[in-house]
Amino acid sequence: MTKQYIQNHKQYFLEKGLTVINSVFSDDEIEKITKCIRNADTSRENFRKSDDLFAVRQFLKEIPEAKDLIFNDTIKTIVKQLFGEKYFAIKSIYFDKPETSNWYVAYHQDLTISVDKKLEIEGFGSWTTKKNQFAVQPPLPILENICTIRIHLDDTDEYNGALKVIPGSHTKGIRRPETIDLKTETEKFCDVQKGGVMIMKPLTLHGSNRTTDGRRRRVIHIEFSDMELPEQLQWSERIN
C-alpha cells in the first residue's frame, strides 16, 4: 500500500467524508478475528443477544485478544497517514446483522461520544447512561475531529445492509435528517469486500436498508481522535 495510494484516499476522505479501502486484512486474519469473537464469554453485560442482533459494546476491552489482530501494520499506517500521528482509539463496537434480521436504519449522524463519568461541562449535553456507560453529545469541534474505521468481516453490498451515505454531508455541521434533499444531494452505497474497511467521519449522514438476500453482515466499528477532553472528563475506552 503505497504512500501515494493512501494520500489519494485521504484527499477523497476529507472531501467526501468517507472512503473504502479493500484487502486490508487477509482471509486468514479475518478467520482469526472471528474465532476470537466466537470463543468469547457472551454472558457479560456488554454482549447484547437477541434473535436478530448480536452486538458487543467496548469490543476491544471485552475481547482484548482481538486487539493485536486488528491493529496490523496496514491499519496502523492508515490511522497515521489518513488521520494523524497522534490519533488513538476512543470507542469500539462489534455488531452482526444476521441473515434472520431485517432492520432498517434511517439516515443519521453519530453525535455522541463514550466517556468515563457524567460532569456538567459547558457545551456537553444530551447525556445518557446505560449500565454505567456514559454517552454525551460534545461540542462540534470534537465531533469534527473523530474518524471511524469499519472493518468488514463479510462481503457487504446494498443487498445485505451496506451503509448508504450522503457524500460531503460531514462539512455542514449537525443536520436533521429531514433536511436531506435527494434531488440535490447524492446517495451512495458503500460496497466493501470481506477484509476491507470503510473509513468515515461521524458527521457524514449514513443509514442502511433492510437485507434482501439473506447474507449476514458483521462489522467492527472503531472510532479515533487525537483530542483530550476538558476538565476531568476522559474517553471511556481510550487505547493508544
Q: Tens of pLDDT along 73-93?
A: 999 999 999 999 999 999 999
Provide φ and ψ at 93, rounded to 5°.
Answer: -140, 140
Which residues contact residue 94 at a Cβ distance below 8 angstroms, ignoring those fewer than 6 apart?
37, 55, 56, 59, 63, 218, 219, 220, 221
User: How many C-beta neighbours within 10 Å does residue 115 have?
Assistant: 23
Cell reading at 189: 452505497
Q: Is the pLDDT of residue 236 over 90?
A: yes
Q: Which domains does the chain have, with CATH numbers?
A: 3-225 (2.60.120.620)
More confident residue, 188 or 216: 188
* pLDDT range class, residue 105, cuts 50, 70, 90: confident
Per-residue pLDDT tens over the stretch 123-169: 999 999 987 789 999 999 999 999 999 999 999 998 888 999 999 99
Query: What pLDDT score does 214 carry?
Result: 79
**Residue 135 CA, distance from chain mean position:** 16
Strands of 87-137, DSSP E: 88-97, 105-108, 113-115, 125-130, 133-137
Query: What pLDDT score does 100 carry?
Result: 64
pTM, 2 dp: 0.94
Q: Is the pLDDT of residue 49 over 80?
A: no
CA distance readout (Å), 151 to 135, 136, 178, 179: 23, 25, 29, 29
Average pLDDT score, the chain: 92
More confident residue, 23 or 55: 23
Say if CB 78 and CB 35 are below 8 A apart: no
Nearest residue to 155 (alpha-carbon basis) of 189, 191, 194: 194
**Residue 186 CA, distance from chain mean position:** 21
Query: What pLDDT score does 102 carry?
Result: 61
Instruction: Annotate 180-211 with DSSP letters as a single string.
Output: --TTTS--EE--B-TT-EEEE-TTS-EEEPPP
Cell reading at 121: 461541562
Helix segments in the chain, DSSP class H? 3-16, 27-38, 59-62, 67-70, 73-78, 140-145
For 178, which DSSP code? G
* pLDDT range class, residue 101, cuts 50, 70, 90: low
Query: What pLDDT score does 216 carry?
Result: 85
Residue 114 CA to residue 234 CA, distance in Å, equals 9
Nearest residue to 173 (alpha-carbon basis) of 137, 136, 140, 139: 140
Query: Which of the residue ranges 22-26, 137-141, 236-240 would you say has the lowest mean pLDDT?
Result: 236-240
* pLDDT range class, residue 37, cuts 50, 70, 90: very high
